[in-house]
Structure 1
Amino acid sequence: MLHSVLRRLDVFSILSFLLPLCIYLLTLAPSVTFFDSGEFITAISCLGSSHSPGYPLFINYAKPFTWLPFGSVAFRVNFATAISGALACYGAYLLSFWMLHSDGETGEAAVDPLLSRIAALAAALTLACSPRLWLQSNHDKPYPLVAFLVAIVLYLILRWRASYRAGAERPSYIYAAAFLSGLGTGAHQTIILMIPAYAFLILSMNWRIVFRIRDFIVALIFGVLGFAINLHLPIRASRLPLLNWGNPQTQDQFLWHFLRKGYPTERVERDLSLFWQQLNAFSVPYEFTLTGFLLMIIGMMAIFQRQKAEVIAYFLALFCFLLVIAGYFNTPLETIFLTEEFFTPLYLFSAVFVGIGIFFSSSKLLNFAVSRKLSQLPVKAVLIMIIFALPGSVCALNYVKNDQHLNYVAYDYASNVLRSAPREAVLYTWGDSGAFPLWYIQGVEKMREDLDLVHTPHLVFDWYLDEFPQLFKNSYLRRIPLESQSPENVLLVAVAEQYPRRPVLIDFSTRYSVPFGGYRLLQRGITYQ
């Protein structure tokens, strides 16, 4: 029996997970980093709610990793993200191999199944070493998990298409895909942008499927069951966890949180230059090099006659992502970089076609060598080196800038800020990078719990003032309409109230973001009192 199991194991699929995981572990951040890191880790540690839309799936996925018996909590959460990144690479392998190996109209993939596995592995490794996924897999980010879910949903739909084509349809594949799509909204809502591509892959088999009301209702039920992961937000909010962003206990607050209504809306006048920059947030040549981009085009052209639907689904997904992220969001130039990570599922889909392009290019080279009656062993050895030249070069290009294994900057910054603060002080922070590492150090590692860390941009929300009853229970801020106030003005009111009673500190960002007329600021460590 064991021999039978071992024979069925696909060594290349295992390598498509293990090799990326090894790369990520070599470059994994050892502790908290800047931007959202400290906030995510704190929310995961207390099973709370992070910034909108809350990310309940990512929080519940990473929580068991905090129980591991090694490393800090931050390292364990980073390890969880590395696992999800490696799973995304496995998803790319799975899709590449399926699209190459399952087609019955041509025998090319069946002639040399080993070559199709090697090409699929090269696709997985190319994705693993791409700058976007690699950066996200080095520290706590939900996007690799989203990409993995998208890959599995695509795989299930392709399996359903194969069963339908064979006359033995299995609707259970669609039900499972609907469940995972609903579940994926708890990792990031961009998974919704894949729905038109999913629908096209289904309806392109037979458009009359749209009239199968029973199957539609069952799939909808499974989707709603997956979406139920978002009930984590009000359920955990009722327990008042350490990090309870938005306090989504009520229906109104849940919708405010889930629909991201707390983010400021800035009207941007868009010209062609800005629109081009917004579109360039998605760039296959940047992720996979120009060679990878050309191989992707080759892969699409090679299978278009036999698998039109898959190629069209890719471009439909790309159109939906660009329409919403570049078109609807209309992101200002200085924050376009924040939208780049939303395209991670599309990069996985792109890597699949890169793998297909590698396979067909390699097949042509191999057939040429056979026609010339060249010695097979050296030809295959050279061919393998050529195949893995792409992931190798992508890895070499991105290794140094994605190597985070000695990155203690955010941890040192937060530790020094807290150590230098006087007892019972109130510290007002401004930017995410200035605040979130402090939240982790204080909330999870329990350093300087005597301090109150107040995030200035949140002072315009009543739910946030509720988090500090000792500071704001009887504050003047409770008697004014906060939604009409700017964070700068609210900060000045809060400082004026606290100044006579407690030491008041501001961080570097606040010092140079808000004019403090009438106050003399004294530098205290790397903060100002």
Structure 2
Amino acid sequence: MLAPDWYRRPTFLIAAGIFILATIVYILTMSQTLSFWDCGEYITTAHTMGVPHQPGTPLYVLVGRFFDVLLAPLVGTAAAVNFMSAFFSALALVFVYLTIQELARRADPDSGWLPHVGGVVGALFLLFSETYWNNAIEAEVYGLAAFVVAFLTWLGVKWHDLRAEAHSDRLLYLVIYLLGLGVGFHLGTLLVYPGIFVLILLARGRQLALVDLMGISVGLGLFLLSTMVKDDVVIIGGLVLLLSYAVWRAFGGKPFILIGCGVFLLGLSVHLILLIRAGLDPALNNTQPDNFQTLMSVLRREQYPPIDPLVRRADLWWQVRYYYGFLLDQFSFLDLGSLRLTRLLTILVPIFLGLLGAIHGYFRSRPWFWMLLVNYLINADILNLYLNFSDNEVRARDYFFATGFMYFALFIGLGAAALLRYLSGPLAVRAPAGR
């Protein structure tokens, strides 16, 4: 239950300040009409409840329609749908701040105000970072996906706090449900699960058996595999075995796998909107997924050439530099001078803070360190190797790594709090009453 004065506490006030600042910045820089690439398509499908390009993103269309109905009479359809990205990007920054300050406080319980400072630093770095800012000011799925990722990461931290309580599994059900629902924004939201899995694996108590955790992980893995391969026999066979085992466990009084699979499917059920709308022939009806066979082709993105990570489309070293060039571009807003030394320093400061945050976390709190590191690597280096970009892409592909940049911003915030802690020593300022 919330305390009576929750709205007066520093955490709420700072979070509200971050949200308001981000919203103002993004509104002032937001596209008022159409941007390039997919934005016009997303605005059109939001307005007409249509079907966008694969993999369909039905939840984006639903939420976009809500913003269209609510705001279009005031600002027009395009600006209303663009604002949706700004709103959810700003809201995601709130949970970035909350996650950093929670983790920094657990790493250094007597650090006073410093966790708040670290949370603000990390949130501001992400707010003004190149890719995140671009995604926040146009009609794209990445702002909404960022909110789901940030919220799920924060929920993982809250579960860690409550893991010894009798009903802590309810938070895990919420996490699993949001993983399924988040696919309706962007399939990449599933890539937040590996880090949460590691956190649960390292910190679980007797309330959650290892076999239950592995069962849910197998279920999520089978779904993800079904979006990448067409071998339905293997997928269906695996699902039948998993559900049979889940039912057997449920009859034995341990229904975690069965309930987890159920809430994940409940989240995924938002994709039925594609079947309904495609059958009604909206103005934009990409690939017309009006039956389950074409719906699966949408989820599998069959209109695109298959990805083969084993056959490199460009030199591996070039691909590594491709990603890390984008990472360094995130801090271009810090470049306040034309001297080469100034530019070098503006790059080294956030890199140093990020590395310091990772090192400090390793020695102070291993479970959350591994959660953040695993999710950073999967959404950055490993994703880069899997996507296997060529050296003649039609556009910059930095947006694919937006989640990786978010996790690096978390490390930056934790590093800022740790650095201030080291500098302040035993004289850290005490926090006021309340959090």
State TM-score, norm by structure 2: 0.77
The 3 A distance-change label for structure 1 pair 280 and 8 is closer
1:276 paired to 2:320: yes
Q: For the residues of structure 2 that align with 1:324 and 1:185, how far apart are their CA atoms?
A: 20
1:180 shift after superposition = 0.7
The one-letter code matched in structure 2 to 1:271 is D
1:232 paired to 2:290: no
Aligned to 2:32: 30
Q: Tell me, yes or no, if the aligned pair for 1:48 and 1:236 is still in contact at 8 Å.
A: yes
1:332 paired to 2:390: yes
The 3 A distance-change label for structure 1 pair 273 and 2 is closer
Aligned to 2:433: none
1:7 paired to 2:48: no
- What per-residue deviation string (whole Å, max 9, x for no partner) do you get for residues 247-306 of structure 1? 0002221111111100135876432344334543752x3324331121011111222222
The one-letter code matched in structure 1 to 2:5 is S
- What per-residue deviation string (whole Å, max 9, x for no partner) do you get for residues 141-199 of structure 1? 111211111111121122112212x4555111101011111111111111222222221
1:241 paired to 2:282: yes
Aligned to 2:432: none
Q: For the residues of structure 2 that align with 1:185 and 1:76, how far apart are their CA atoms?
A: 23
The 3 A distance-change label for structure 1 pair 247 and 281 is farther
Q: Tell me, yes or no, if the aligned pair for 2:379 and 2:403 is still in contact at 8 Å.
A: no
Aligned to 1:390: none
Q: CA RMSD in A?
A: 2.5
1:12 shift after superposition = 0.2
Aligned to 1:217: 258
1:346 shift after superposition = 2.0
Q: Tell me, yes or no, if the aligned pair for 1:234 and 1:250 is still in contact at 8 Å.
A: yes
Q: For the residues of structure 2 that align with 1:147 and 1:229, how far apart are their CA atoms?
A: 19
The 3 A distance-change label for structure 1 pair 251 and 6 is closer
Q: For the residues of structure 2 that align with 1:2 and 1:262, how far apart are their CA atoms?
A: 52
The one-letter code matched in structure 2 to 1:7 is R
- What per-residue deviation string (whole Å, max 9, x for no partner) do you get for residues 440-469 of structure 1? xxxxxxxxxxxxxxxxxxxxxxxxxxxxxx
Q: Tell me, yes or no, if the aligned pair for 1:279 and 1:326 is still in contact at 8 Å.
A: yes
Aligned to 1:440: none
1:137 shift after superposition = 0.6
Q: For the residues of structure 2 that align with 1:4 and 1:361, how far apart are their CA atoms?
A: 31
Q: Tell me, yes or no, if the aligned pair for 2:104 and 2:118 is still in contact at 8 Å.
A: no
Q: Secondary structure at the match of 1:304?
A: helix
Aligned to 2:197: 199
| Residue from 272, 294, 303 that aligns with 1:253 | 294
| Residue from 20, 23, 45 that aligns with 1:21 | 23
The one-letter code matched in structure 2 to 1:154 is T
Within 5 Å, give how 1:126-145 maps onto structure 2. 126-145=125-144
Q: Secondary structure at the match of 2:74?
A: coil
Aligned to 1:427: none
1:17 shift after superposition = 1.0
The one-letter code matched in structure 1 to 2:401 is F
Equivalent pairs, count: 364
1:362 shift after superposition = 1.8
Aligned to 2:422: 364
Give the number of the structure with larger relative contact order, counting CA–CA contacts within 8 Å between residues 6 or more apart: 2
Task: Give the gaps of 5 or more residues in structure 1.
Answer: 377-529
User: What is the percentage of aligned positions where both structures have the same residue?
Assistant: 25
Q: Which has the higher helix share?
A: 2
The 3 A distance-change label for structure 1 pair 5 and 195 is closer
Aligned to 2:153: 154
Aligned to 1:444: none
The one-letter code matched in structure 2 to 1:276 is V
- What per-residue deviation string (whole Å, max 9, x for no partner) do you get for residues 509-529 of structure 1? xxxxxxxxxxxxxxxxxxxxx
1:229 shift after superposition = 1.4
Aligned to 2:110: 108
Q: For the residues of structure 2 that align with 1:324 and 1:52, how far apart are their CA atoms?
A: 23
- Answer with 1 or 2: which has the greater Rg: 1
Aligned to 1:60: 62
The 3 A distance-change label for structure 1 pair 229 and 320 is same
Q: Tell me, yes or no, if the aligned pair for 2:376 and 2:408 is still in contact at 8 Å.
A: no
Aligned to 1:47: 49
Q: Tell me, yes or no, if the aligned pair for 1:197 and 1:317 is still in contact at 8 Å.
A: yes
Aligned to 2:85: 81
Q: For the residues of structure 2 that align with 1:66 and 1:124, how far apart are their CA atoms?
A: 28
